[in-house]
Structure 1
Amino acid sequence: MTMESAKLPDGPMSGLVASAVEYMVDAGQRNVLFLDIMRKRGDQYREHVAQTAPHVLQYAAELVIDGRKLAEPVNYALVRIVPPEGVEIDKNRRPFVVVDPRAGHGPGIGGFKADSEIGVAMKAGHPCYFIGFLPDPMPGQTIERIARAEAIFIEKVISLHPDADGKPCVIGNCQAGWAVMILASLRPELFGPLIIAGAPLAYWAGVHGKYPMRYSGGLLGGSWLTALTSDLGAGKFDGAWLVQNFENQNPSNTLWTKQYNVYSKVDTEADRYLEFERWWGGHVNLNAEEIQFIVDELFVGNNLAAGKIEMSDGRKVDLRNIRSPIVVFCSEGDNITPPQQALHWIPECYADVDEIRAYGQTIVYTVHQTVGHLGIFVSGGVAKKEHAEFSSNIDLIDILPPGLYEATFEAKGEETASSDLVVGHWVMRCEARTLDDIRAMGGNSPEDERRFATAKRVSEINLTAYQKLVQPWVKAMATPQMAEWAHKMHPLRLQYELFSSENPYMATVKSLAEKAAEERKPVSQDNPFLAFQEQMSKQIVHALDSWRDSQEAMSEALFLGIYGSPALQAAVGIDPKSTPSARREMPPEHRAMLEKRISELRSRIEDGGLREAALRALLYIGSARGMVDERSIEALRQIRDEQGGARMTLPEFKMLVREQFFILLLDQGAALAAIPNMLPDDLNVRREAFRAMRRVLSASEDITGEREKRLRQIAGMFGDAVEEGDRESNVAPFDSKAKAS
């Protein structure tokens, strides 16, 4: 019998054999195509690291300042983002400055896609600038020197936009978030609103059973290992080790899912995978002094929120010195910077919301439910929602009265009231919160605080011992040639190099992949062997996740047991019975300044005219709702535009809002009693002002409940300026158009 005449048996077996043949052909082709994608990844990596200034920005940029040419040179640079065709920039709008994280990867992630922090800011009409860095630090470069350089960069942006309606909005992602906060505490006059995305600020914070990275410093014996790694690198710390820490947090994704996703979707996933890997594989270096500061002062020391970081000139870094609104964006799905680490600096710095107000501070936070660490500043969906709303409503955030707020987002639909006042696809609200809302997310007990304090002290002891006993020998042994060899042999780099075209065996893969692409026969989706493949993948993921969970549980138990030992705590000088308190008292000089300001405001309760009276009334009525809606602010802006003539600048308006807010806070009764005497005699002017107030108040919803009661109270103060119809229908919006919408 010839092969041509051979037939598969009839029945179920023939279908199974056919499915097996179909799957084997598809799997063979996918194997070859997957290996070719790995080859392209390796070649892409080699091309990327060979560049002088590698980055992943998707936008053209013009160099403004090269940090290497400053009096204190750094490897950072300020560039202006060139708007793509079709995007119009309003030069009078405040500029945005995106600072990228130097946490092992190269720069550009803030402008990685069209739907990115930079992209949505430009779509909102803002000029955009970017602060990035080169792969290798300058000799003698420190975190403090970088801060001074970034201050020069921001000063330059301010000088380029003298007519802007506010100081620059600065976005700090991840590591750049805490760096921006340090600079803003030292140079508060340079900043408009700050957007801090996925940035750890309270490094010990967390809850049991989650976020094991915070235990790493203690389990490794502290920062001596950081010093050893830098010494073996001849004074440089390889950022690939930081990336390795990220990889270790999710072994199922690192070892399986990321590659399997490409293998299983080899016909569609190559471009997306290679795009991300271009950034993920672009590792950078830090000076030994830089990484030692980061580990000692921040991750192990937790000194930022405690106000214990001191600059070379003796100034303390105190986050309470920041005067710009702070927007904190974090996620429940982020196991690198969980909400506790992003937000618990607030209760560490302030006793309550009144103290936040006493410092004139406005803090807005939002907590995403699922997105991971990188997704906070990489995800297109997040960029089109949260970051787009922050960009569109940055002026709303800037003029919010001092306090603590949570930003919430509601999708705009046909039923949305006053939808014409909504700038984007979401309605943003800032709802008043208290510190109890943050504490409710969970945090450390006093016992946990003692454990971390003990780990900090052990780290200091071990580092001192290493520096005195071992470091001189390591430095003498570690030559630049040895450091370069170790750099090249890092496992994360080898995985790119080994699969690049430099490997002669990969030439065969390239030719086979070309043939496989020509003869490609994807398997049908109902193939039983494909279903078995997917099931096997899920089992592998489950096994790796289970292994990770067991390792994390063991790590937590070890940390809690070792550093919870009363004997160890007493040995390193920690009182086992103490109740640590991280919160600081208000400095006497600030309290004296505050009392002086209170006296000044009390003396000005009766000062002002129609503008001050109307704004005071708006704040009084609006505070009953406990939130600020972007539609109300847009309505107020439109009213200001309609009035024409000389207008207050945004900073002037912000100061007026704060002054009237604090006057109401100090003595509400006297503040309201003064309103009638502040109004002009012209009834038409008073009537028009009252109608404008109602238009703002009704922009987002009908005026009901306590707001209606307060509006009637204010109407009585305006007296004859309110028409009879207005007195009887305070619930209705001002104009029919708003009511209909």
Structure 2
Amino acid sequence: MADSQTSQPATSDGPPTLMSLQARIAEVYQRRCAAALQGYLDATEAANRAWIEAARPLTPAQAWGDAVTYWTDFAQRSLLFWDTLRQRGNNWLAHEAAGKPPLLAFGWEIVADARRFERPANYALVRITAPPDVHTDPDKRPYVIIDPRAGHGPGIGGFKPESEVGMALRAGHPVYMVIFFPDPVPGQTLADVARAEAEFLRIVRERHPTRGKPVIVGNCQGGWAAMLVGALDPDCAGPIVVNGAPMSYWAGNDAENPMRYAGGMLGGSWTALLASDLGGGQFDGAYLVDNFEYLNPANTYFGKAYNLFAKIDTEPERYLEFERWWGGYFLMNRDEIKWIVDNLFVGNRLASGGAEWSEGRAFDLRAIRSPIILFASLGDNITPPQQAFNWVADLYPTTQDLKANGQVIVGLMHQSIGHLGIFVSASVARREHAQIVDLLEYIEHLPPGLYGMKVEEERADGAVRYDVALREFQVEDLQKLQKYARKDEVPFAAVEQVSAFNATLYETFVHPVMAAWARPETGRLARAFHPLRARRWALSDLNPALASLGGWADLAKAHRVPRDEAGPSVAAERRLAAGIMAGWDLYRQLRDATVENLFYNIYGTMSVVAPAEEPEAAVAEAISGRDAPAIRDALSRIGEGGFTDAAVRAALLIARVGGQERHLSIFKRIRELVGREVGLLDRPAGEASEIVRRQAHIVEHEPERAMEALPALVPTAEERRHLLALLERLMSNLDLEPQQRALLPIFQDLLAPAPEPVPAAVAASQPPRRRAGWSKSQRAH
């Protein structure tokens, strides 16, 4: 709960006392309040300094001219600003009347409608139509993109031409999206949704019987939905890309992730149940959008509007486009939001295997065998990196456990982009998402492990070229994301207990009354007057007071008066705006510090006075190292296999003694040089992955035996000559390290064709021939 690593609590083995805990909470609260006040003073000082630097002496005529042009421009900007809000309201009404279709920058057609399934859900599978200048290859692995159902409608994954959808299309892949409709099917559950999405995967796989299973891309809450589908039907799921998705809901750091305290401060899930009952059995997604806007009041109540006002000549188109999506509020059934809050937001049961999709049947994320890419950002305060990555350590306590399960997990971290920028930023699409698409062509040939992905940029001749560097990490390295070795998550177990108690009281005493009183009609009326909706229809052509606004705005646009951007009036406006933003930021920081302080005073105290019982581990105890069944099986077959196994083993032996980073450009070059001859590309992706996994286990646990047994995999002289030719070709065309090149003579000695028989008398007279072996440095690897 500290602001920096230097202020972390002492790492004692014993539990904290109540007095020491409360003293620590008070100390951190005081430090945060002082930091908030200092931040406000620094921001206002910077604004004052900029204002003073912009000031310059003016003659009375210049001052009069500056004032006239500024206030004329101000009046015109005001007309255009309010007219833009009127257009926003009209767009909202038109979108509502059209049934709130997906806001995609691409054409699409429905392939399957889950409302007609045996267990119906308000979901559909659509195929994206490629633009005329983009060619897709039906034989390439298809992509299935799942957008979040977190208050807004679908479309964020393909909101712009340069997006996740756009990058996959440009790479030639058929692209499908899982969309959803505004109103849930009566009685549908999250299990029905997961089943429908699993059926969509089967449909896509039947339409594209390629060598690889469909890639699943999940955004935000669509990320955990993608993981649920991968666990529910691993036979149909290909590589899974999880973008900005919360998976470990208790995780985070103090002073950085205030949303994680919301469940505790609201008393658990009963408030979601109340909101559903007030909605006539349906939960309004506008409440979730309210939560997002609550995080940054400076932007919500001033910054976004002022940015539009200040850039009124260039900003409206972008603003209106985004607001069409931001203002589309979708509904959930009561049982759906209850499952989400109980199992994820409050219960945090996904990684522990306690999230049941039917009685006695839980989602087991360890059942996922496909590679997983996790994309998060340090600038994301809605899904912080801890929530995106910590589930890996929960599921796989050690690196050996992860490898023994044959899992490949790649983590990509952006340094600054916000939550929505992960999905909608064109620069992120060009840089990160395009490289993710590129990596997915090769990811199933990676040996099991946890990798960090870094996008490297090179500029030459005015062009930008990207490369991907992969560096292997240990699961234990994930602790670097934490301030307190996750001890700050202990109070959240108390939140879960309080939530269950409050929900029981609510269901017993309040829900029967609310269900009888709040009818569906009442819910529709309440939704219509929700502040987020009311501010849109109230500022539209439905309001007769705005009837003449469009004409005045057109007149102002036709006679725009430019202001002096370097003048004192503009400088004063910017100073005022900066001061207002600083004031809102001060309020936010003090509010968040107070909420955090209250949370730990309540639930931290409860955790000390009445600690929660240790839950029984729902995930089976890890069997790591050589005792894991997959590794035992691999080592028992160390002398079995064919040419492909031998080539993969040799490549892994070479990679083992090389540097810690592996570059995608090298993978591409290897595939170009020997890819078709090795034999992996002609096999189904699952079979190819299994060969890589098996050989990776052998090379990691028995590298010397792996080398010695290599000749048994290529018994004929022709196969040995072929394998040596491939290795020599790689050595000649790749920039390898000296210790890697030193392996070539060893391979040549091992794989040399058997010599002609020598008479016994001659053989006895010759000194024994010593076979080349591992050097001391190579053994160290």
- The TM-score with structure 2 as length reference comes to 0.85
Q: CA deviation at 1:27?
A: 0.7
**CA 629–691 in structure 1, closer or farther in 2 if over 3 Å, else same:** farther
In the alignment, what sits opposite 1:5? none
In the alignment, what sits opposite 2:564? 524
Q: Does 1:97 align with 2:144?
A: yes
For residues 65-88 of structure 1, give each alpha carbon's deviation from its aligned partner in whole angstroms, at most 9, with x where no partner exists.
Answer: 011111111110001111110111
Q: CA deviation at 1:435?
A: 1.8
For residues 153-204 of structure 1, give each alpha carbon's deviation from its aligned partner in whole angstroms, at most 9, with x where no partner exists.
Answer: 1100000011x13000000101111111112112111111000001000000
Query: Counterparts of 1:287-686 in structure 2 under 5 Å?
Result: 287-312=333-358, 314-414=360-460, 425-442=465-482, 445=485, 447-566=487-606, 570=609, 574=612, 586-587=620-621, 595-624=628-657, 625-640=659-674, 643=677, 647-679=682-714, 682=717, 686=720
Q: CA deviation at 1:627?
A: 3.4
Q: Distance in 2 between matches of 1:584 and 1:555?
A: 32
Query: Counterparts of 1:43-82 in structure 2 under 5 Å?
Result: 43-82=90-129
Three-state SS of the structure 1 residue aligned to 2:469 is strand
**CA 720–530 in structure 1, closer or farther in 2 if over 3 Å, else same:** farther
In the alignment, what sits opposite 1:144? 191
In the alignment, what sits opposite 2:16? none
Q: CA deviation at 1:560?
A: 0.7
- Letter of the aligned partner of 1:325 in structure 2? P
In the alignment, what sits opposite 1:15? 62
Q: Distance in 1 between matches of 2:474 and 2:624?
A: 22
Three-state SS of the structure 2 residue aligned to 1:564 is helix
**CA 406–592 in structure 1, closer or farther in 2 if over 3 Å, else same:** closer
Q: CA deviation at 1:665?
A: 2.4
**CA 42–593 in structure 1, closer or farther in 2 if over 3 Å, else same:** farther
For residues 507-541 of structure 1, give each alpha carbon's deviation from its aligned partner in whole angstroms, at most 9, with x where no partner exists.
Answer: 12111101101111121322221122112111111
Q: Distance in 1 between matches of 2:478 and 2:486?
A: 17
Three-state SS of the structure 2 residue aligned to 1:189 is coil
Q: Distance in 2 between matches of 1:461 and 1:411?
A: 53
Q: Distance in 1 between matches of 2:728 and 2:86?
A: 65
In the alignment, what sits opposite 1:110? 157
In the alignment, what sits opposite 2:329? 283
Three-state SS of the structure 1 residue aligned to 2:451 is strand
Q: Distance in 2 between matches of 1:522 and 1:686?
A: 78
- Letter of the aligned partner of 1:574 in structure 2? A
Query: Counterparts of 1:687-698 in structure 2 under 5 Å?
Result: 689-693=723-727, 695-696=729-730
Q: CA deviation at 1:681?
A: 5.1
**CA 286–221 in structure 1, closer or farther in 2 if over 3 Å, else same:** same
Q: CA deviation at 1:697?
A: 6.2
**CA 619–69 in structure 1, closer or farther in 2 if over 3 Å, else same:** same
In the alignment, what sits opposite 2:52? none
- Letter of the aligned partner of 1:639 in structure 2? L
Q: Distance in 1 between matches of 2:497 and 2:72?
A: 61
Q: CA deviation at 1:574?
A: 1.9
- The TM-score with structure 1 as length reference comes to 0.89
**CA 697–290 in structure 1, closer or farther in 2 if over 3 Å, else same:** farther
Q: Distance in 2 between matches of 1:129 and 1:230?
A: 32
- Is 180-189 or 290-299 further displaced after alignment? 180-189
**CA 532–691 in structure 1, closer or farther in 2 if over 3 Å, else same:** farther
- Letter of the aligned partner of 1:660 in structure 2? Q
Q: Distance in 2 between matches of 1:594 and 1:583?
A: 20
Q: Distance in 2 between matches of 1:385 and 1:599?
A: 41
For residues 610-657 of structure 1, give each alpha carbon's deviation from its aligned partner in whole angstroms, at most 9, with x where no partner exists.
Answer: 432222111011123233321222123223566599933443332222
**CA 346–232 in structure 1, closer or farther in 2 if over 3 Å, else same:** same
Q: CA deviation at 1:443?
A: 5.2
Three-state SS of the structure 1 residue aligned to 2:556 is helix
Q: CA deviation at 1:303?
A: 0.6
Three-state SS of the structure 2 residue aligned to 1:505 is helix
Q: CA deviation at 1:33?
A: 0.5
Residue of 230, 253, 264 corresponding to 2:276: 230
Residue of 120, 127, 131 corresponding to 1:84: 131
Q: Does 1:702 align with 2:735?
A: yes
Contact 1:610 1:680 in 2 (8 A): no
Q: Does 1:155 align with 2:202?
A: yes
Contact 2:405 2:630 in 1 (8 A): no
- Is 702-711 or 521-530 further displaced after alignment? 702-711
Q: Does 1:133 align with 2:171?
A: no
Contact 1:632 1:698 in 2 (8 A): no
Contact 1:104 1:283 in 2 (8 A): yes
For residues 32-59 of structure 1, give each alpha carbon's deviation from its aligned partner in whole angstroms, at most 9, with x where no partner exists.
Answer: 0011100000000000111125221111
Q: Does 1:28 align with 2:75?
A: yes
Q: CA deviation at 1:711?
A: 4.3
Q: CA deviation at 1:585?
A: 5.8
Structure 2 unpaired stretches of 5+: 1-56, 755-771, 773-781
Contact 2:152 2:326 in 1 (8 A): yes
Three-state SS of the structure 1 residue aligned to 2:358 is coil
Contact 1:351 1:583 in 2 (8 A): no
CA RMSD of aligned residues (A): 2.6
Contact 1:137 1:285 in 2 (8 A): yes
Contact 1:310 1:317 in 2 (8 A): yes
Three-state SS of the structure 2 residue aligned to 1:196 is strand
Q: Distance in 1 between matches of 2:347 and 2:267?
A: 13
| Structure 1 segments (4+ residues) deviating >6 Å | 581-584, 590-594
Q: Distance in 2 between matches of 1:518 and 1:255?
A: 30
Q: Distance in 2 between matches of 1:415 and 1:358?
A: 46
Q: Distance in 2 between matches of 1:650 and 1:514?
A: 59
Q: Distance in 2 between matches of 1:698 and 1:517?
A: 66
Q: Distance in 1 between matches of 2:113 and 2:435?
A: 32
Q: How many residues align?
A: 697
**CA 212–609 in structure 1, closer or farther in 2 if over 3 Å, else same:** same
